[in-house]
Amino acid sequence: MDQTFSISDLAREFDVTPRTIRHYEAEGLIAPARDGQRRIYSGRDRVRLALVLRGKRLGFSLAEAKEIIDLYSAPQGEAFQLRTLLEKLDEKREILEDKRRDLDAAISNMDKYAARCRDRLAELEERPETAAEAAE
Amino acid sequence: MDQTFSISDLAREFDVTPRTIRHYEAEGLIAPARDGQRRIYSGRDRVRLALVLRGKRLGFSLAEAKEIIDLYSAPQGEAFQLRTLLEKLDEKREILEDKRRDLDAAISNMDKYAARCRDRLAELEERPETAAEAAE
DNA sequence: AATTACGTTTACGTTAACGTAAACTTCAGT
DNA sequence: ACTGAAGTTTACGTTAACGTAAACGTAATT
């Protein structure tokens, strides 16, 4: 379970360049161990990279992604820490749910439009001559 | 139903600057009518702006947003046009569904984590002394 | 010993998506 | 006639997120 990865291992797996991964490190999103100069990525580092990339796909900036991901490694020793962590999680959750509302709307919107297109196409294929009348 | 809007009307409504709206026009995303020099936005223009902004929130670039939104005003005269339109819609739909999978995973991930945090907090509040043992 | 394949740092370049400022017009209100 | 409040174009500036190139180290292969 303590498998490690080189920078190009991860670059290949996630289809990004090593430069990108180093950039994320410079921005504080990943902090791999070192063997001399060489970066050595743990399984946990790999997960963090996956989270960053997913965040990006969902439209988060690197800074926003960091805010969210850092919650997953926040200290939970005291009850106070746990409570403020739960508050922050809830805050981020709302942002994610806003996005889901947007996304659902976009998809159902597109579905309805596609359905109308299919209807129209069916009309055209049944009665090509009276195509224009289908609009009524 | 043929209501019109000034650039600052829309800027206020959608909480962006007029500069942003003009930029979208320069990128070919909106094409308002003109009264002399002044831009006059129709209801349809307003809808397009809303679509652009939603696309942005979902992580699309302006170019990607344009590709999707333009499908909604594609010509549908001939059957051939309708068929290629339906293909493109399906292609974009898959992208949206990929995003939904990402988003659902992010949310359920966070939910599980939050649940564990709540459990841990409950432990701490019940038996503060034996807190460390809760990890077993 | 030299090539090849990877890694490193440093630093300047690039693109998208606007921000910002200048210089100007147009129009409603005093 | 003058003053805002809105609009316009043009153009340079800025930020995020890397790309690209230079100059170099290290380790295995030929």
What integer pLDDT is reported at residue A135 of this predicted model?
Answer: 52
**What sign has the CA pseudo-torsion A129, A131, A136, B3?**
negative
Q: What is the distance between the alpha carbons of residues B136 and A71, in angstroms, rounded to a whole number?
A: 22
> Which among B59, B70, B120, B32 is positioned nearest to A56, based on CA atoms?
B59
What's the pLDDT tens digit per position in A64-92?
999 999 999 999 999 999 999 999 999 99
Helices first, then strands: H and E counts in chain A:
5, 2
Q: What is the distance between the alpha carbons of residues A111 and B90, in angstroms, rounded to a whole number?
A: 9
- Position B132 confidence tier, pLDDT thresholds 50, 70, 90: low
Q: What average pLDDT does the structure give for chain A?
A: 94
Residues of B within 8 A of A96 (CB-CB) are 103, 106-107, 110
B13 pLDDT above the threshold of 90: yes
For the segment A122-132, the average pLDDT, to the nearest whole number, is 75
Give A10 to chain B, closest Cα distance, Å.
19
> A40 phi and psi, to 5 degrees?
-125, 120
A127 pLDDT above the threshold of 90: no
B2 vs A20 pLDDT, higher one = A20
What integer pLDDT is reported at residue B66 of this predicted model?
Answer: 98
Nearest residue: Cα versus C1' of D8: B37
Please answer yes or no on whether B89 and A58 come within 8 Å at the CB atom.
Answer: no
Is there a contact between A19 and A8 (Cβ–Cβ < 8 Å)? no
Distance A26 CA to C8 C1' (A): 14
B135 pLDDT above the threshold of 60: no
> A38 phi and psi, to 5 degrees?
-65, 140
A62 touches strand D (CB under 7 A): yes
Q: Which residues pair with residue B129 across a beta bridge? A: none
- Position B45 confidence tier, pLDDT thresholds 50, 70, 90: very high
